Amino acid sequence: MLRALLAKHLVVIKILLHSLALLPLVWLAWQTYQQQLGGDPVQYLTHFTGKGGLNLLLITLCVSPIAKTLRWGFLLQTRRLLGLWALAYALVHVSIFWWLDLAGRFDLLLSEIVKRPYISLGALALVILIALGVTSFNHVRRKMGRHWQRLHNWVYLVAILVPIHYYWSVKSGLVEPTLYLILAGFLLLLRHNKLPISISQFSKREQI
Ligand code: HEM
């Protein structure tokens, strides 16, 4: 009954998800306007938007397992909007770094990407995310045929690259990036049904 009700109100769920994704950015803009970003505002903005992108990416990857386990197929239709929000946060993250840390100099951004391995990984993740974002629309999907799924499986590489980018960027406080790495690894194993209890087994048990 709940499933039918939620499926019927998918538009409401989508509006809610858009609002929840947008709200932190509005809050961040307000905090910036109020000059309440602490002693190092640029670092605060970079960290906030980077973490936002990573969280949204992992939430996107949680949708399929949840939809399969609960047999809520309609939830799959929220993946694109969540993925695009992850891309939006990543773009804001890089723009802040480029604009405020590197004074908008493209040559400096390129040399950072070449010189610092953790930035190279971030850049690779961003390029893949952009490719996934621009091909996420239905008409492109139809045109790409079976190549579409192959390309979109790269999202799991992004889910591993970004926590490594995070882990590598911090000098101390490794617990949080390590937890993100474990979560990303868990989602990857779940996708390939490599866990002792896979989703399909779980669903079968539910049927019994
Ligand atoms: C060209 C691409 C990228 C550049 C230049 C870049 C740059 C940076 C920089 C400068 C930092 C902060 C390092 C420090 O505190 O010293 C950082 C941290 C981070 N970035 Fe990126 N990044 C890129 C791509 C991405 C992408 C695509 C994501 C996520 C989808 C991401 C997520 C993060 C996260 C989660 C952190 C750690 C935040 C924290 O410490 O709280 N980055 N990045």
Dihedral sign computed on CA atoms, order 58, 59, 60, 62: positive
pTM for this entry? 0.92
pLDDT at 195: 59
Task: Determine whether the shortest distance from the Cβ of 81 to ligand 1 is under 6 A.
Answer: no
Could you say which residues of the chain have pLDDT below 70?
194-208
pLDDT at 204: 41
Q: What is the DSSP letter of 9?
A: T
Task: Determine whether the shortest distance from the Cβ of 119 to ligand 1 is under 6 A.
Answer: yes
Give me Rg for the CA atoms of the chain: 19
Ligand 1 centre distance from Cα of residue 65 (Å): 27
Question: For residues 185 and 120, what is the distance between their CA atoms, to the nearest angstrom?
Answer: 21
Question: For residues 32 and 136, what is the distance between their CA atoms, to the nearest angstrom?
Answer: 32
Number of domains in the chain: 1
For residue 181, what are the domain limits? 2-207
Q: Write out the DSSP string of 100-150.
A: IISTT-HHHHHHHHHH-HHHHHHHHHHHHHHHHHHT-SHHHHHHHTHHHHH
Task: Determine whether the shortest distance from the Cβ of 122 to ligand 1 is under 6 A.
Answer: yes
Task: Determine whether the shortest distance from the Cβ of 93 to ligand 1 is under 6 A.
Answer: yes
Task: Determine whether the shortest distance from the Cβ of 53 to ligand 1 is under 6 A.
Answer: yes
Per-residue pLDDT of 106-148, as tens digits, reads: 999 999 999 999 999 999 999 999 999 999 999 999 999 999 9
Q: Which atom of ligand 1 is nearest to the CA of 98?
A: 5
